[in-house]
Structure 1
Amino acid sequence: MALLLALLSGTLFGAGLVISGMADPMRVRAFLDLFGAWDPTLAFVMAGAILPMALAWRVQRRLERPFADSRFSLPETRRLDGKLAFGAILFGIGWGLGGLCPGPAIAGLALAPASAAPFVLAMLAGMALHRFTTR
């Protein structure tokens, strides 16, 4: 059941990325081009996610456990350390250069596999490198 819900949620998320145009790297790059041909579309998508997420956090606080799991998987700490900051910087650089982040990149495999595949392979290599170096 949990696997089916994960697949359904991922499909819904991917469809939302495609419908909103956020799976298009050029749209993301245009959003990051503050002093050129700036496209505010991504800002509206982000703003549109704030209300549903705020409601979800309020509902989550009232629940003992999630619908399809035995417990919530929430971060155990709110501490900002060097690893988190470095990872955020790397993410931002990759997002700015590639115009993709993990969700749109995976959705891009269905839309434009030739352009999304190098990003996804590099992302997987980075994940493997992290796992290998943090053991």
Structure 2
Amino acid sequence: MNIHEYQAKELLAKYGVGIPAGIPALTVEEAVAAAKQLPGPLYVVKAQIHAGGRGKGKFKELPADAKGGVRLAKSVEEVEAFAREMLGNTLVTIQTGEAGKQVNRLYVTDGVDIAKEYYLSMLVDRKTGRVAVIASTEGG
């Protein structure tokens, strides 16, 4: 089962884990509306694809010096600009290979000062038939 970041965070929040406020968006207009619902003044705009390394990734359709699939926006106008650049374009990361994956959904979150950050993954070890849980302070 693959779930996106926004889906995982909804599950974590349901069980009391503290996470930054965030809203998924399928369109530029939805991304702008999401930002307006969040406290600001910082926002994080994240491409939702099933691959790690989104922040370090590159979009096929954008210049080589363009930012990746996780961007810090300092205004609602920047959220709009980032959404326009990401939605519908192909994000290439270390995990997607050269083909990349098209970005059809964004996750707009409140920008927060992070004291500690953890990454958690659960997967089925097919050899043993058991669930493996991986936790780390480094991720992507």
Q: TM-score scaled by structure 1?
A: 0.22
Q: Per residue, is there more strand in 1 or in 2?
A: 2
Give the structure with higher Rg (CA): 1
